[in-house]
């Protein structure tokens, strides 16, 4: 069986790595891939948003299944195009993927499904947005409406900061077209949690709860990023809370999308803020999270390929999805300057030469020049440690992090700190 994974980041490396473990021994391809993925799959130099190029490759290579990693091709309608050509593909359609591609549409879904979320107002005129800020209490959250690679969110602690975030988005086009419309949202004071779920449009199977670390620096300081690390399972996601999220968030969202004529098949990601034990939805994504994938999939016991096929064939209710009773911690190493301007092309030294079940190195922004692996993105590597508990998993991750060197390397030293403070 031939499988193509679309994308080039740490999430896609993890997907390829997990699919390679299938007892069915699929032949793996990735487009465009990265230096780490190339050790497991044949990489094709086709951009993730080149729908026509990807379709032509799948047809010429007679690929049996395409698994879409990032949000951009989903928002562009890759699933619709592949289905028209009778090609098997894993992911939601363009209309269903709007739950991530438009924060305004996402709020409409939540309102229709009676899902708890922060109060918000959308604006496509800057003057109206600035006037709204003057009339509301701070802090406020300013969000670009469209896809901004996890960077289009500003938590503003002053009115001037909120106004500057609006100007950056709408006037200075910091997020391109994604920021031409903004959402200004009530600030929720709680703790973040991610619960992703497999769904075939009818059945919903939640994954283990994970917690991402969005801020660039220790102690949750500095600007938001695409994610600096994660751990799973997060103690905050108790069995009771997971049940509540499944019944009050995931199923209502899936049922509402179906009722609106855009049924969702794939992975639905719920980004939550837990306020005094009650989960509010901050955002929905139409695919697996990054870096959450790097801590969730290593704990998946069931064959991922079997789950994907069950989702595509509307028979998710017929399989059991089981998990390992371990903990995983992922530490992201970034280029100096990220999430702002950063350099690429720096040689990476100290990468493990052998596979290690206790600590896996997932490549995010890397490429190969001759015999050297070099940096090729803001987020460069995700090192995932696995252990019987949080302490041992964290220890394994940082053990490997400390052996890897490249010019300007940055990482947080406190991934998992919230779980430790909860226990304390």
pTM (predicted TM-score): 0.93
Distance CA 21, CA 24 (A): 8
Between the CA of residue 154 and those of 117, 197, 212, what are the distances in Å? 17, 27, 16
Res 422 pLDDT > 80: no
pLDDT, tens digit, for every residue of 4-17? 999 999 999 999 99
d(CA 72, CA 147) in angstroms, rounded, equals: 8
pLDDT for 145 equals 85
The residue assigned the tokens 């206790």 is 358
pLDDT at 214 over 60: yes
Please say if the pLDDT value at position 287 is more than 70: yes
Q: In the numeric block, which tokens belong to residue 164?
A: 């500057």
| pLDDT digits 0-9 by tens, 23-66 | 999 999 999 999 999 999 999 999 999 999 999 999 999 999 99
Q: What is the arithmetic mean of pLDDT over 187-212?
A: 96
Q: Rounded CA gap, 136 and 129, in Å? A: 11
Closest to 89 (Cα-Cα) out of 103, 68, 72, 73: 68
139, 125 Cβ separation under 8 angstroms? no
The residue with greater pLDDT, 155 or 304, is 304
Across the beta sheet with 140-144, the strand order is 120-123, 182-186, 140-144, 153-156
Report how far residue 9's alpha carbon sits from residue 30's, in angstroms, rounded to the nearest whole number: 11
Mapping DSSP to helix (H, G, I), strand (E, B) and coil, where does residue 174 land? Answer: coil
Q: Could you tell me the two tokens for 394?
A: 């964290």
Q: How far apart are CA 64 and CA 87, in angstroms?
A: 8
pLDDT score for 179: 86
Tell me what the mean pLDDT of segment 338-363 comes to: 92
**Cα-atom radius of gyration of the chain, to the nearest Å?**
20
Task: Characterize the bridge pairing of strands 89-90 and 65-68.
Answer: parallel
Rounded CA separation 347/376 (Å): 10
Measured CA to CA in angstroms, residue 314 lies from 68, 79, 85, 287 at distances of 18, 16, 19, 18
Convert the pLDDT of each residue in 114-163 to its tens digit: 999 999 888 999 999 999 999 898 999 998 888 877 678 888 999 999 99
3-state secondary structure of 192: strand
∠ CA(183), CA(188), CA(194), 5° rounding?
90
Q: For position 423, what pLDDT does the model report?
A: 59
Cα angle, residue 404 at apex, residues 32 and 294 outer, rounded to 5°? 50
Beta strands in 8-98 (DSSP E): 27-32, 42-43, 65-68, 89-90
Q: Which domains are seen in the chain, by residue range?
A: 2-91 (3.40.50.20), 119-186 (3.30.1490.20), 191-221+232-293 (3.30.470.20)
Helix ranges restricted to H, 271-389? 293-296, 304-312
Structure confidence at residue 286 as a pLDDT band (50, 70, 90): very high
Q: Provide the 3-class DSSP secondary structure of residue 54.
A: helix
Q: Is 60 exceeded by the pLDDT of residue 424?
A: no
> For residues 216, 217, 222 and 227, what is the CA-based torsion angle, rounded to 10 degrees?
20
Residue 241 near residue 249, CB atoms below 8 Å: no
Half-sphere exposure of 89 (CA within 13 A, CB side): 26
Strands (DSSP E) found in 36-84: 42-43, 65-68
d(CA 239, CA 234): 11
């Amino acid at each position: 069986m031939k499988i193509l994974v679309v994308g080039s980041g740490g999430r896609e490396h993890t997907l390829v790595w997990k699919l390679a473990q299938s007892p069915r021994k699929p032949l793996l391809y990735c487009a465009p891939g990265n230096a780490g993925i190339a050790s497991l799959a044949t990489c094709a130099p086709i951009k993730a948003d080149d729908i026509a190029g990807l379709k032509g490759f799948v047809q010429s290579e007679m690929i049996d299944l395409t698994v879409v990693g990032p949000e951009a091709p989903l928002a562009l309608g890759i699933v619709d195009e592949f289905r028209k050509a009778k090609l098997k593909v894993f992911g939601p359609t363009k209309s269903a993927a709007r739950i991530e591609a438009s924060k305004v549409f996402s709020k409409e879904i939540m309102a229709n499904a009676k899902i708890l979320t922060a109060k918000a107002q959308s604006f496509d005129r800057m003057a109206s947005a600035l006037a709204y800020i003057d009339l509301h209490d701070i802090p406020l959250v300013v969000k670009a409406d469209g896809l901004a690679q996890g960077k289009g969110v500003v938590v503003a602690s002053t009115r001037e900061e909120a106004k500057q975030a609006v100007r950056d988005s709408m006037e200075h086009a910091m997020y391109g077209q994604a920021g031409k419309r903004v959402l200004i949202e009530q600030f929720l004071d709680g703790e973040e949690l991610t619960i992703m779920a497999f769904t075939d449009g009818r059945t919903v199977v939640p994954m283990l709860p994970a917690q991402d670390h969005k801020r660039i620096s220790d102690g949750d300081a500095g600007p938001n990023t695409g994610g600096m690390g994660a751990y799973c399972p997060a103690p905050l996601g108790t069995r009771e809370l997971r049940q509540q999220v499944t019944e009050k968030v995931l199923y209502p969202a899936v049922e509402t999308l179906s009722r609106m004529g855009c049924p969702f098949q794939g992975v639905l990601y719920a980004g939550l803020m837990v306020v005094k034990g009650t989960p509010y939805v901050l955002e929905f994504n139409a695919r697996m999270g990054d870096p959450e994938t790097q801590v969730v999939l290593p704990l998946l016991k069931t064959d991922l390929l079997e789950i994907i096929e069950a989702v595509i064939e509307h028979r998710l209710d017929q399989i059991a999805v089981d998990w390992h009773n371990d903990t995983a911690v992922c530490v992201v190493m970034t280029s100096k300057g990220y999430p702002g301007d950063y350099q690429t092309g720096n040689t990476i030294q100290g990468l493990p030469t052998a596979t290690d079940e206790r600590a896996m190195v997932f490549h995010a922004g890397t490429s190969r020049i001759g015999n050297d692996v070099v940096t090729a993105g803001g987020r460069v590597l995700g090192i995932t440690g696995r252990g019987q508990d949080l302490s041992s998993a964290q220890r394994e991750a940082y053990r490997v992090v400390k052996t890897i060197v490249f010019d300007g390397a940055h990482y947080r030293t406190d991934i998992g700190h919230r779980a430790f403070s909860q226990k304390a």
